[in-house]
Structure 1
Amino acid sequence: MRPAIIILPLAFLAACATPREQCINQVTRDSRVLSALIAETEGNLARGYALETRQEVRTVSDTCRGRNPDGTVFLFSCEETETVNRTVPVAIDLNAEQAKLTSLRERLATERRAADAAVAQCIAANPE
């Protein structure tokens, strides 16, 4: 249910964007993704390890309330399932991570050149 709560406002915001903004947002998406990957890889290299998010599912014992047909309240033991996200360090090959960073930077440079041309087309097609 939570992803829908997050996605719906974003959908409304996207609907409010002008055609020019929508076009520019679409053609620069890959550059933004590559920039985020570069930032993550640089962080991994600076730390010397990567961070990974893992979900832990556990059962928690609790006391629940119930209601009898006559309206009286009673307590009973119950169990609830709880999911917790935990960030854990993960070992990485620093040489491979450095090679990945170099590759990502090269791809970003290429992607930005292509995005610049596409943005110019968006501006020409959708003058404000």
Structure 2
Amino acid sequence: MSRNTALAAMLTLPLVVAACGTPQERCISQNTSEYRTVSRLLAEVEGNLARGYAWEERQVVRDYLTQCRSYRYDWDGRAIYGYEPCWRDYVDIERYRVPIDPAAEQRKRDNLAARQAVLAERAASAVQACRAAFPEEQG
């Protein structure tokens, strides 16, 4: 898959996912996305503080030995197909520890917790509005 095809697939995936679900679920999902993002970030910061370090990821190119299709010609000029060992590259994701500044992480946690409290009220009212606008049958 080419890079442009992969990028196009990644950009259209949220549209496909957004088309799934009931109208009520889509409404709730759209109106609570910021709250969910802040909650995820808060959980990450609290995990960093509990561990004493953060996790980062980087891409590393590695290679592995595999079998590649090859051909050669015999004395009569006919191609003979076969396999021979060859090296191939692949991209691996590597996680590593990163030191944190505990004071900065605590300030970040406090700011995210305050933002989450504000967004929680908005999210709760949005959920109620979505349920009122798109009632679902209980079955």
Shorter-chain TM-score bucket reads 0.7 to 0.9
- Relative to 1, partners in 2 of residues 1:127 and 1:61: Cα closer, same or farther, differing over 3 Å? closer
Paired residue type of 2:61 = V
Using the alignment, how far apart are the partners of 2:51 and 2:128 within structure 1? 39
**Deviates further, 73-82 or 36-45:** 73-82
Indicate the residue corresponding to 2:38 in structure 1: 34
Deviation at 1:48, TM superposition (A): 0.4
Structure 1's unaligned 5+ residue stretches are none
Per-residue deviation, residues 20-56 of structure 1 (Å, max 9, x unmatched): 1100111111111111111111110011010001111
Paired residue type of 2:98 = V
Indicate the residue corresponding to 2:106 in structure 1: 98
Q: Does 1:51 align with 2:59?
A: no
Structure 2's unaligned 5+ residue stretches are none
- Relative to 1, partners in 2 of residues 1:13 and 1:63: Cα closer, same or farther, differing over 3 Å? closer
Indicate the residue corresponding to 1:88 in structure 2: 96
What is the DSSP-based 3-state SS (H/G/I as helix, E as strand, rest coil) of the residue aligned with 1:17?
Answer: coil
Number of corresponding residues: 126
Using the alignment, how far apart are the partners of 1:19 and 1:75 within structure 2? 54
The percentage of aligned residue pairs carrying the same residue is 42
Paired residue type of 1:57 = V
What is the DSSP-based 3-state SS (H/G/I as helix, E as strand, rest coil) of the residue aligned with 2:100?
Answer: coil
- 1:107 aligned to 112, 115, 128, which one? 115
Paired residue type of 1:47 = R
Using the alignment, how far apart are the partners of 2:80 and 2:87 within structure 1? 22
Using the alignment, how far apart are the partners of 2:105 and 2:89 within structure 1? 37
Whose radius of gyration is greater, 1 or 2? 2
Measured on the aligned residues, the alpha-carbon RMSD in Å equals: 2.6
Indicate the residue corresponding to 1:21 in structure 2: 25
